[in-house]
Structure 1
Amino acid sequence: MLCLTTPARCLPIRGNHFGDAVRAKGGTSRIVASGMWGRDEAETLARLGAWNQLIHCIRGRIEDIRNLETKLLRRMRWHGLAKAGVQIRHTAIACDMKRSLKVIVIPMAGQQQKHP
């Protein structure tokens, strides 16, 4: 018996931009799957769990950062919403810049630069 739980309408529509960027850096593009094809249901669910486990580890770290921002926002309610909003935006910008630096700058540091 075939087991399929992912309808076609749930597949990503973003295009290949993000996947191509990951492959250009030598990585593997992964998207959380809600189902897989398979003849044996237990084997299929085991493969699905193994596939999603790596993704959940990475997403968990990102969600920890976002949860910290939410906690800071709750603490800042005594200082006023305007100050709290600015702090949250600055934290988000800092996290995004740090992640961008890891993706762009660090791999370039390993390459030798030629000076004219």
Structure 2
Amino acid sequence: MSAPTPTPALVEEVAITPANINDGKAGPAALPDNPGEVFADSAYRGQHFRDAIHAKGGTPRIIVTAMWGRDEQETLARLDAWNQPIHRVRGRIEKIFGTWKCCYGLRRMRWRGLAKASIQVRLTAIAYNLKRTLSIITAAAA
């Protein structure tokens, strides 16, 4: 049996939220219908976000940063066991954000306002996908 081929790291969907609203509160509005597995960092740990994922038929895969009332070694082992598969997926996602910040100038928004910021992020996603697609096609042809 062969291993499944990994999906290319292309941006498929973008949700823009205001910067003055915390991630955990803005997250449920950004969820698509039938989201599947939802990978998120610890900013999304709240029950509000988990309930929104379950309501849309998804499975939360949220980083856990602390556990209380257990032996330290057991706690660290449980945290590592839970977070390791999540880190692998999130690492691929965070790489996209890092590229946007480093190479596409998305460290700061060029314009004020949600609509203009949305345009900047969407244009960045298009540019990233075009460059990434070229890399994928080149690798497939070789």
**TM-score scaled by length of structure 1:** 0.44
Write 1 or 2 for the structure with the bigger share of helix: 1
**TM-score scaled by length of structure 2:** 0.38
**Bigger Cα Rg:** 1
The structure whose RCO (Cα within 8 Å, separation 6+) is larger is: 2
Write 1 or 2 for the structure with the bigger share of strand: 2
